[in-house]
Chains A and B, each alone.
Chain A
Amino acid sequence: MTAPASLAQPFHTGDTPLPDIIILTHKLARDYDMGGEVVRALRGVSLQIKRNEYVAVMGPSGSGKSTLMNLIGCLDTPTAGEYWLNSQKVSDLDDDELARIRNKEIGFVFQTFNLLPRATALHNVELPLIYAGLGARERRDRAARALERVGLGDRMEHKPNELSGGQRQRVAIARALVNEPSILLADEPTGNLDSTTSAEIMAVFRDLHGQGQTIVMVTHERDIAAHAARVVTLRDGVIATDQRQAA
């Protein structure tokens, strides 16, 4: 099974993707060795995502969506296949280069926010810039701007425990955006939020998408996935459906 032709340009090993294709996976596979037994979590996923697309990845647990998420996020390397991110072949990069890609090209938003509890909102947002090697002054300025962008300009010196769940997730979004990444990669971004706050976060995503941000979001909630312009469904390590939908 492969992706429907309407959503992917033909791609062959040795090709270079077109510049407007920000994510391209070609027959991406990932096997895990679970004590002698090989688990084939991904069995050849070919996926193309263009600049400024808003894609939701769905699928039941065990479908391989977390594995795909980790591979797209450069937290993991594939067993076979190719992965191109922003015209760069990342599937055969080493550890340090992957760290640089994560820093520059990918903005993570996690289900559990993953903020440093003892640090202020501002310092949390500064973190990626520290690893980008920026000076203190520029870090502060850019982190402040990112916080303003998600509507938290007046909460910069607050620590996570002084913020609501929705505000925490917005701090995390600001942190994801601060390095101006190619993709915003969200893993169940509303999983720990009530429906009102979820709607709030989805509104933030919609605005960002409107400003040109490419977003890939993993979720198992159909109504959250409904916010995306395109839904990719995985089943048993392969793409089952890949459809555009009206926003």
Chain B
Amino acid sequence: MPVWESFRLALQMIRAQKLKSGFSLIGVFIGVASLIGAWSIVNGVNRYMTEKFAQTLFGVNTFQLRRRPIFTPNVPDSVWRAWRRRPRIQFGDAEAVTAAITVPVITAWQSSENVSVFYGDKEARDIELTAASERYFDIKNLRIAVGRAFTAQENRSGVPVAVLGDAVAKRLFVDRTPLERNVRIGGTAYRVIGVVEKQGSVLGFPLDRFVVVPARSPAQNLVNPPGVLDALLVKASSEVEMREAMEQAEGVMRSRRHLRPRQDDNFVLDTSEGVQQFWAGISRILIVVLPGVVIVSLVIGGIVIMNIMLMAVTERTREIGLRKSLGARRRDVLRQFLAESAAIASVGAVFGILAGIGLTMLINAISPLPASVSPASILLGAVMGTGVGVIAGVYPASRASRLDPITALRQE
């Protein structure tokens, strides 16, 4: 009997006993659905982390000279205290590092603080005010939607002009043009010269609630003590050049801080690697935990299917005897029951795959997690689901195939 014939027979059997088959495939269903759902989250967040989050935070081939790392999960108190004792980054440091880097790079200063921005009687609260130099927009890949960014000249002379994030413009001006209007930040009037394109959000954090002003404008007093900045952003045109620029920056900073060779750096050259490493750690945990959950449900699913198949063998003993008397060989009977077991599991896997895809779409719709179905997970789900069916079917099928036709036919 050809394999597809057994499979067709098996599907008939499933259709004839919908309820029983439904219960028997629920384990495989849950296993495969959770495999695909969880994998989709890991996969989606992974892509987000590497493609968008890290890029948004840092930019490509970009490092930041800072007092401490920007992304600091799970840091012990002692390390925090050490970081707080470090000296701040001075304007002079930024200038010296910029001057010392020989590879072609673009640099920008950056200091940020949360403030309120006013226009007339309207207030936009909890806005990230960034005092930056003019190349900040290039490094952060912030494109201007309306108006323009500020110039190097405006930055040097600290002219009070402001470039708004999309959400701020919408909040304060609704649908009127913000250009040439004056917004108030910390009591100083800033002339709006541009609005940045909408950035959307990352993991639920909005990216459009910001205002960028020149680093030497009066806002400097709001973000940092005089002469101090949060970070010097350095963007190179390749990974190799970035590494070289980092070495040069480290050398300059160490000599400016008079560090002896055995002393550690009291500053950091932070890259997106830190974020990515942290995420890689989380996803490694997920990748260890996830198979556990999936395997448990598949094992349970397999046991359920095995029991159902053993029941089927008992119930259909006469049928097996009959088939043998009509010329079915052991391997025909074996194949029939294996196919049936595999068919139950495959149907469970198919529903599980559909549910997993549905789950992914649901997660995308109602949560900030950027889930995305991985084709590999569908393949793995299908293979594992069917595999469980085959493995669970081996014992019942071999019992069926070894039945003695005479005894089987006499069975009531």
On A, residues with C-beta under 8 Å from B are: 70, 73, 75-76, 95-96, 99-100, 102-104, 108, 110, 114, 116, 118, 127-128, 130-133, 175, 179
B323 interface contact, C-beta 8 A: yes
Bound-complex Cα distance A88 to B294 (A): 55
B16, B322, B409: residue with the most chain A Cβ atoms closer than 10 Å: B322
Chain A residues lying within 8 Å of B330, measured Cβ to Cβ, are 95-96, 99
CB of A75 within 8 A of CB of B406, answer yes
Q: A127 touches which one: B12, B16, B323 (CB < 8 A)? A: B323
Bound-complex Cα distance A103 to B329 (A): 10
For the residues of B in contact with A, the DSSP-based class is: helix
Bound-complex Cα distance A99 to B326 (A): 8
Task: Evaluate whether A99 and B324 lie within 8 angstroms (CB atoms) in the complex, with A130-B5, A131-B332 already known.
Answer: yes
Task: Evaluate whether A116 and B319 lie within 8 angstroms (CB atoms) in the complex, with A102-B326, A131-B332, A175-B326 already known.
Answer: yes
Query: How far is the CB of A117 from the nearest CB of chain B, in Å?
Result: 9
- CB 8 Å contact bits of B315-328 with A (1 = contact, 0 = none): 00011001111111
Interface size class on chain B is 20 to 34
On B, residues with C-beta under 8 Å from A are: 1-2, 5, 12, 16, 318-319, 322-332, 405-406, 409
B5, B12, B319, B327: residue with the most chain A Cβ atoms closer than 10 Å: B327
Bound-complex Cα distance A99 to B324 (A): 7
Q: B1 touches which one: A73, A100, A133 (CB < 8 A)? A: A133
Bound-complex Cα distance A18 to B324 (A): 29
Bound-complex Cα distance A138 to B32 (A): 40
CB of B326 within 8 A of CB of A127, answer yes
Bound-complex Cα distance A95 to B334 (A): 14
CB of A100 within 8 A of CB of B327, answer yes
Give the residue name and chain of the A residue nearest to B329 (CB): A99
Give the residue name and chain of the A residue nearest to B327 (CB): A103
Chain B residues lying within 8 Å of A110, measured Cβ to Cβ, are 409
CB of B405 within 8 A of CB of A75, answer yes
Bound-complex Cα distance A76 to B404 (A): 9
Give the residue name and chain of the A residue nearest to B16 (CB): A118
CB of A108 within 8 A of CB of B1, answer no
Q: Which 7 A-B pairs have the closest CB atoms?
A: A103-B327, A131-B327, A99-B329, A128-B326, A114-B322, A96-B329, A102-B327
Give the residue name and chain of the B residue nearest to A70 (CB): B406
Query: How far is the CB of A45 from the nearest CB of chain B, in Å?
Result: 17
Bound-complex Cα distance A104 to B325 (A): 11
Bound-complex Cα distance A100 to B326 (A): 9
Query: How far is the CB of A137 from the nearest CB of chain B, in Å?
Result: 13
CB of A75 within 8 A of CB of B325, answer yes
Query: How far is the CB of A108 from the nearest CB of chain B, in Å?
Result: 5
